[in-house]
A and B are shown apart, each in its own frame.
Chain A
Amino acid sequence: MSLLADLPNAILQGVLLGGLYALVAAGLSLIFGVMRLVNIAHGDLIVLASYIAYAVISATGLHPLLSLVIVIPMMATIGYGLQRLILNRTVGPDILPPLLVTFGLSVMIQNGLLEVFSADSRKLQAGPIETIAVSLPGGLAVGVLPVLMFALAVAVIGGLQLVFYRTELGRAFRATSDDPEVAQLMGINHAHLFGLAMALALAVCGVAGVLMGIRGIFDPSIGPPRLLFAFEAVIIGGLGSLWGTLAGGILLGVAQGIGAAIDPGWQILMGHLVFLLVLVLRPRGLFARAPA
């Protein structure tokens, strides 16, 4: 009885959480799509963004959501620099070098954060808005902040979609993804374009880091689990589709929500099970673009 009664609420909370997972996954998907680089440090870069926001808030007293004004440009700059100085030397026909280098980067970020911020758990305090909830019909209640964060996540993914399909930069990204050699013959400078892609991806990581930091506690070691959820959302949705990534994130969130309603210990397990199920039934993901 109690499970059935909890189900609508579990699904609702799962959808809201899934928006955040999709946001975490969007940058990963973007980078893989444009330059076939699997960024193992992706989760740690999101945690780095959470800590940058923490430092900015400590220094200025800004509200976490307003700290985005500083966090996003900083993350974008880090992304461009990281790509031009390090990652561009690793991308090529072989996908192994970027895997190894970003794995090393992941270890360095974790230990760097540990050194500077200690192993203590932190949280970004969003103030009274964190506890405001709205009652919905059917005895459901939904927090204003999770809804706001979900809307922000959907807006960011929609914005990325617009960049990809309505701008010259997006055309250049898609062309490079299709055929890097001919893209060069169109006057596209790979080093710069990849730098812009990483800047965009880390700007999205900046948003994800701040929202995750408001939603729950974080510490320097929490990057890899975030990477895992991001991978699952991308693969459930299908590579190369941003709306698919959103759907994948939401499905993962809902599975975890239902799992948690059955038994709190089942939350993560249920997410992994749904992921496995999708891999077995539709290995290319639910919304994969047709093979070229």
Chain B
Amino acid sequence: MPDPLLRTEALVAHYGDFQALFGIDMHADEGETIAVIGANGAGKTTFLRSLTGLLRGAPTSIRFAGQPIGGMAPDRIVRLGIAMVPEGRRLFPSLSVRENLLLGGYPRRKGPWDLRRVEALFPILAERARQPATSLSGGQQQMVAIGRALMSNPRLLLCDEISLGLAPIIIRDIYATLPRIGAEGTTVLVVEQDTNQVLAAADRVYCLLEGRVSLEGPAASLSRAEIARAYLGAH
């Protein structure tokens, strides 16, 4: 069996004395869409910070395309092909919409995505190209954040809470673009607190609870009761 694109083994993470992750084992195969769900404080964002190198871990606890990347600097990890849509979008306020997108292409990775194709995926971004990125509506800003990540032509796209603070109809539009991204062969890993949209979009689900995986399996085979128990803990 070939190596999965991403595999974490016994991944732990600390903030000072506080331990946030207690041995996460997961994997994502090429082309899959993975959902990581869990309540506030379950360790979802910490997990993504470890994958992107913002939190340093043991080298072999994270393997990407067979290569150990735990503890590698964030800018090197991007160049290997992991891009992140950060929570709260975190666009660069001094840059225009187009400049935000162009900066996403800084690593110069070859692949299907370039400015033209990203603006075709989100046509509104071509119309608003010259505006300051933070002058757009929340949904449009989320499109910039996703487009910016795609510009680096990632093999693995990490999305942190892309539905946070957006109206349901906008969330539906954003999620409608995920299959088009996956169709290019990109593996997508979506982290969400709100499970409704993400369960419909994902192939497989991991549920985190207090820094551990409390449930995993194909999205279609998990019952609502199982998910609720894994999400909230057995109280």
Q: Which residues of A are at the interface with B, using a C-beta cutoff of 8 A?
A: 168, 171-172, 174-175, 177-179, 181-190, 289, 292
Could you say which residues of chain A place their CB within 8 Å of the CB of B104?
186
Using known A-B contacts A185-B86, A186-B152, determine if residue A175 contacts B74 with beta carbons closer than 8 Å: no
- Which residue of A is nearest B79, CB measured? A187
Is the pair A182, B90 in contact by a Cβ cutoff of 8 Å? yes
CB-CB nearest 9 A-B residue pairs: A187-B107, A187-B78, A184-B74, A178-B92, A189-B75, A175-B92, A182-B90, A174-B94, A187-B106
Which of B5-13, B57-65, B95-103, B202-210 binds A? Answer: B95-103
| A240 to B136 Cα, complex, angstroms | 23
Could you say which residues of chain A place their CB within 8 Å of the CB of B84?
185
Told that A182-B92, A188-B75 touch, could you supply 15 new A-B pairs with CB distance under 8 A?
A: A168-B102, A168-B106, A171-B95, A172-B106, A178-B94, A178-B95, A179-B90, A184-B53, A185-B52, A186-B78, A186-B103, A187-B107, A187-B152, A188-B106, A189-B73
Using known A-B contacts A185-B52, A186-B103, A188-B106, determine if residue A292 contacts B93 with beta carbons closer than 8 Å: yes
Most buried by B among A174, A185, A188, A289: A185
Is the pair B74, A185 in contact by a Cβ cutoff of 8 Å? yes
Is the pair A174, B92 in contact by a Cβ cutoff of 8 Å? yes
| A288 to B159 Cα, complex, angstroms | 35
- Which residue of B is nearest A240, CB measured? B94
How many whole Å from A140's CB to the nearest CB in chain B? 41
Is the pair B90, A186 in contact by a Cβ cutoff of 8 Å? no
| A183 to B54 Cα, complex, angstroms | 11
Using known A-B contacts A185-B52, A186-B152, determine if residue A171 contacts B78 with beta carbons closer than 8 Å: no
Could you say which residues of chain B place their CB within 8 Å of the CB of A183?
92
Most buried by B among A179, A182, A187: A187
| A186 to B106 Cα, complex, angstroms | 6
| A172 to B84 Cα, complex, angstroms | 17
| A174 to B84 Cα, complex, angstroms | 19
| A175 to B152 Cα, complex, angstroms | 16
| A179 to B99 Cα, complex, angstroms | 14
| A178 to B95 Cα, complex, angstroms | 9
Is the pair A177, B75 in contact by a Cβ cutoff of 8 Å? no
Could you say which residues of chain B place their CB within 8 Å of the CB of A182?
86, 90, 92
A-B contact pairs, 20 of them (CB 8 A): A168-B102, A171-B103, A172-B106, A174-B92, A174-B94, A174-B95, A175-B92, A175-B95, A178-B93, A184-B54, A184-B73, A185-B74, A185-B83, A186-B104, A187-B75, A187-B107, A188-B75, A289-B94, A292-B93, A292-B94
Is the pair A171, B52 in contact by a Cβ cutoff of 8 Å? no
Could you say which residues of chain A place their CB within 8 Å of the CB of B103?
168, 171-172, 175, 186
Could you say which residues of chain A place their CB within 8 Å of the CB of B94?
174-175, 177-178, 289, 292
Could you say which residues of chain B place their CB within 8 Å of the CB of A175?
92, 94-95, 103
How many whole Å from A66's CB to the nearest CB in chain B? 37
Enumerate B197-227 residues with CB–CB distance to A below 8 Å: none
Contact of B148 with A by CB under 8 A: yes
Is the pair B92, A179 in contact by a Cβ cutoff of 8 Å? yes
Could you say which residues of chain B place their CB within 8 Å of the CB of A289?
94
| A187 to B76 Cα, complex, angstroms | 7
Could you say which residues of chain A place their CB within 8 Å of the CB of B93?
178, 292
Most buried by A among B53, B92, B102, B104: B92
